Structure 1
Amino acid sequence: MKLRSIELALPHAAEAAAFLTGIWGMASAEVRGQTHYLRGSGPFPYLVALEESAEAYVRSTTFTCARERLEELKVSVTRANLPARPVTSDDPGGGRGIIVELAEGELLRFLTDTSEVAPIEGKDLPVKLTHIVFNATDAEATGTLIEQALGFRVSDRTKGMVFVRCNESHHSTAFARAGFSSLNHIAFEMADMDAVMRGIGRLRDHGMVPAWGPGRHGPGANVFAYFIAPFGPVIEFSTAVEKVPEDYQPGAPEDWTWPEGRIDQWGMSDKDFAGLRAAEEKFRHRRDWGPQPLNEEQA
């Protein structure tokens, strides 16, 4: 299974797309109606979809998987009694599958039979999404639910996060112990550390400084730099997230502590806690469909 894309609804979608392509470093894939699809250098047809809307919210986060894995999901999601329905994707790449609502409103879409595109050149293009993190009222309960209902695995727990994986990458998603439910941040996988640093420099050229970073995390060990996007959410340049074996033993909060005054391995940058917190509250979850049995093949 792979994390593919996130689909957002927001006002002024064209302006957001212009920022992500003109400054952040993505490439335009296509525009369909009032939805802008943006891609990276890798084979996914798009990484971010921006749909024009009067209000900002998360439409879905999309994973791709094999047909057999989708059938397993239908059984486990039904057993967990989660709101869900069959879907046929009208987005680039197509595919069919299901969309599932977790206990705090997170909407995860799982597609099979999707198509990919030829990679494109660009040393400063993101390659793919490396992870999508959500804020949660009860991150522990959500971590348990996603293991039981979706077959994901908890990789590590810290004082602030429950990290969850769907393949060998240390985390494809995580749940922050925030006390509310929303999108925490979107992380873009860059080719290497130089690409992360060039990204920081490019944004500085446009008057933007990191809200946190550069640094290197503990869990996952990825290099990072977080920015608050002009259109609202927190977005991250990231690279070199750790690959973990199947029998990886999850760490507990006491396993991930830092010397006084530090909050990452390097300890070289400050964190704009207030600014990040405000940005993390802007994109909530919204379900605009009714549940249906998962053995019904319909959009």
Structure 2
Amino acid sequence: MKLRSIEMVLPQAEAAANYLTDIWGAALAGIHNNTFYIRGSGTFAYLVALEEGEEKFVRSITWECESDELAALKQRLAKLELKTKPIESDDLGGGQGILVELAEGEVFRFLTGSEHVEPLQGKDLPVKLTHVVCNSIDAEASGHLVEEALGFTVSDRTKGMVFVRCNQSHHSTAFARSGFASLNHIAFEMEDVDAVMRGIGRLRDNDTAPAWGPGRHGPGANVFAYFIAPFGAVVEFSTAVEIVPDDYQAGAPEDWTWPPKRIDQWGISDKDFDGLKQAEQQFCFRRDWQPEAIS
């Protein structure tokens, strides 16, 4: 199973798409049904869908899976009282699968049979999404739920987050101990550390400094730089997330501590705590569909 994309609704979607293509460095995959589709250099049809709407919200976070993974997912969900719906995707790439709403309103979509596209050349293009993080009222409960309901695995726990994986990449999502439910940030996988640093330079050329970074995280060990996008969301350049074995032992908060005044391995950058917290509350999840039984 692989994280594929995030689907968002917002005012001035075209301006947000222009930011992601002209400044952030992604590519336009197409425009369809009042929605702008943004892709990277990899083979996914798109990474971010931006639909024009009056209010900001996240429609879904999407994973691609094999048919046997989807069947196992349906079996797990049938035993739980979560809202679900079978769906046929009309987004770029298509596919069919299910929608599921988690306990705090997060909407996850699982598709099989989606079409892939030819890769693009370009060292500064994001390759794919490496993770999408959710804010949570009860991150521990959210971590337990996705293990039980989705078959995901908790990789690590810190005082700030519960990190969750769906394959050998250390995390494809995480639940931040925020006290509220919303989108925390979207992380774009870059080709290497140089691509991350060139991305930071490109944003600085456009009068935008990182809200946090560059740095290297503890859990996952990925290099990062966070920015607050003009459309309100937190977006991250990231690379080199740790690949973990099946028997990886999840760490506890006491396993991930830093010396005073440090909040990552390098300790070279400041963090705009207030600005990031405000941006992390811009996009809540919204279910705009009626639940149906899945079979």
Match in the other structure for 1:6: 6
Give the secondary-structure state (helix, strand or coil) at the position aligned to 1:103.
coil
Once residues 289 and 32 of structure 1 are traced to their aligned partners in structure 2, the CA distance between those partners, rounded to angstroms, is 20
Aligned length: 295
Once residues 60 and 133 of structure 2 are traced to their aligned partners in structure 1, the CA distance between those partners, rounded to angstroms, is 13
Once residues 39 and 63 of structure 1 are traced to their aligned partners in structure 2, the CA distance between those partners, rounded to angstroms, is 15
CA RMSD of aligned residues (A): 0.4
Deviation at 1:78, TM superposition (A): 1.6
Deviation at 1:81, TM superposition (A): 1.5
Give the secondary-structure state (helix, strand or coil) at the position aligned to 1:168.
coil
Match in the other structure for 2:146: 146
Paired residue type of 1:28? L
Once residues 205 and 119 of structure 1 are traced to their aligned partners in structure 2, the CA distance between those partners, rounded to angstroms, is 27
Q: Please give the residue correspondences for 1:1-299 in structure 2 after superposition, counting only pairs within 5 Å.
A: 1-295=1-295
Paired residue type of 2:269? S
Once residues 143 and 80 of structure 1 are traced to their aligned partners in structure 2, the CA distance between those partners, rounded to angstroms, is 15
Once residues 76 and 291 of structure 1 are traced to their aligned partners in structure 2, the CA distance between those partners, rounded to angstroms, is 16
Once residues 14 and 42 of structure 1 are traced to their aligned partners in structure 2, the CA distance between those partners, rounded to angstroms, is 23
Give the secondary-structure state (helix, strand or coil) at the position aligned to 2:79.
helix
Paired residue type of 2:111? L
Once residues 32 and 113 of structure 2 are traced to their aligned partners in structure 1, the CA distance between those partners, rounded to angstroms, is 21
Once residues 114 and 12 of structure 2 are traced to their aligned partners in structure 1, the CA distance between those partners, rounded to angstroms, is 29
Paired residue type of 2:263? I
Give the secondary-structure state (helix, strand or coil) at the position aligned to 2:208.
coil
Once residues 180 and 199 of structure 2 are traced to their aligned partners in structure 1, the CA distance between those partners, rounded to angstroms, is 30
Paired residue type of 2:280? E
Paired residue type of 2:175? F
Identity level (%): 68
Deviation at 1:228, TM superposition (A): 0.1
TM-superposition CA deviations, 1:2-29 (whole Å, max 9, x none) = 0000000000000000000000000000
- Any gaps of 5 or more consecutive residues in structure 1? none
Once residues 99 and 258 of structure 2 are traced to their aligned partners in structure 1, the CA distance between those partners, rounded to angstroms, is 39
Deviation at 1:77, TM superposition (A): 1.1
Deviation at 1:124, TM superposition (A): 0.4
Paired residue type of 1:284? C
Paired residue type of 1:268? I
Once residues 195 and 80 of structure 1 are traced to their aligned partners in structure 2, the CA distance between those partners, rounded to angstroms, is 43
TM-superposition CA deviations, 1:239-287 (whole Å, max 9, x none) = 0000000010000000000000000000000000000000000000110
Paired residue type of 2:26? M
Give the secondary-structure state (helix, strand or coil) at the position aligned to 1:28.
strand
Deviation at 1:33, TM superposition (A): 2.6
Paired residue type of 2:185? H
Runs of 4+ in 1 over 4 A off after TM superposition: none
Once residues 23 and 6 of structure 1 are traced to their aligned partners in structure 2, the CA distance between those partners, rounded to angstroms, is 19
Give the secondary-structure state (helix, strand or coil) at the position aligned to 2:3.
strand
Once residues 134 and 106 of structure 1 are traced to their aligned partners in structure 2, the CA distance between those partners, rounded to angstroms, is 8
Once residues 7 and 156 of structure 1 are traced to their aligned partners in structure 2, the CA distance between those partners, rounded to angstroms, is 26
TM-score norm. by structure 1 comes to: 0.98
Once residues 59 and 122 of structure 1 are traced to their aligned partners in structure 2, the CA distance between those partners, rounded to angstroms, is 29
Deviation at 1:80, TM superposition (A): 1.5
Give the secondary-structure state (helix, strand or coil) at the position aligned to 1:197.
helix
Once residues 285 and 19 of structure 2 are traced to their aligned partners in structure 1, the CA distance between those partners, rounded to angstroms, is 23
